[in-house]
Structure 1
């Protein structure tokens, strides 16, 4: 299996979902929960479509997206 390099739009969706999750942790209101569920659903759908597009297992793509969004590689030194 090749290294999966998710596109920026998937990383942005994951970051939005992570931010919504942080909002739930800070204030677990029904509105916060609904926002998190919506963001998480968007990530799930986008990851599934991308995995099919590139022919890689969905769980591997999801792991790459989470890693890329939460622990990005530092920029290369020039």
Structure 2
């Protein structure tokens, strides 16, 4: 899969959602905000929503280690 450019705002929303998930406290408004932002980015870029969501979750939940 090619690298997908993800806006900082989208990454911040997913980080908030991930923190809530880890705390067992994900709220509907947070989940909706992430979903709507992913859908908007997919529409604006023409990239499938699933590809954006996968890239976003990979970046936030499984970040690459920093080079030494």
Give the TM-score range, shorter chain.
0.7 to 0.9
Structure-2 residue corresponding to 1:12:
12
2:25 maps to 1:47: no
Q: Any unmatched runs of 5+ in structure 1?
A: 25-31
Which structure would you say has the larger RCO, counting Cα contacts within 8 Å and 6 or more residues apart?
Answer: 1
Task: Tell me, in whole angstroms, the C-alpha distance in 1 between the residues paired with 2:10 and 2:65.
Answer: 18
Question: What's the secondary structure of 1:72's corresponding residue?
Answer: coil
TM-score (norm 2): 0.81
Q: How many residues are paired up?
A: 68
Deviations along 1:12-66, whole A, 9 cap, x unmatched?
A: 1011001111222xxxxxxx4xx52211110000000001111010000010111
Task: Tell me, in whole angstroms, the C-alpha distance in 2 between the residues paired with 1:39 and 1:13.
Answer: 8
2:31 maps to 1:22: no
Larger fraction in helix: 1
Which structure has the greater CA radius of gyration? 1
Deviation at 1:10, TM superposition (A): 0.9
